[in-house]
Amino acid sequence: MLSSAVVGRAAAPEAGQSSDRSNQEIVQALKDLRSAITAPQSFPEIARVRTKQIEFLRGQGKFPDFIEVGIDTWFGVYDWHVRHLQPIALGRDPSGRYTIALLTTTLILRVDSDQNFIGVPFDTAR
């Protein structure tokens, strides 16, 4: 009887240490989550396209209707949509080229250009 009481007391500190360790892990996970939420966001996948959009916006007072892009740029934008759980609006233009929406701009895939190509933004009346 005495031996089981001693064993029970010996196991109690281990359970307490395990609980403390678990609590510390939870606290650290919450701190990491807070840091991720409050940290400034950078989106390297769309940064170059966004720069072109901003340049056009400053000059024209509106976002461009279209920007032609290369394959790597296209898939970077697609991957950004997937990674950030954004709706993906794919389509085709009258020429049969693939399109994807990014904000209010339609990106047009140019398979015949450099993979990292980003064209000059333009509007419908080109």
Does residue 72 sit in helix, strand or coil?
helix
Which pTM was predicted? 0.70
Q: Residues 71-85: pLDDT tens digits? A: 999 999 999 999 989
Residue 126 is predicted with a pLDDT of 54
Nearest to 67 by CA among 46, 41, 42, 43: 46
C-beta separation of 100 from 106 below 8 A: yes
Cα gap 112→120, rounded to integer Å: 16
pLDDT for 5 beyond 70: no
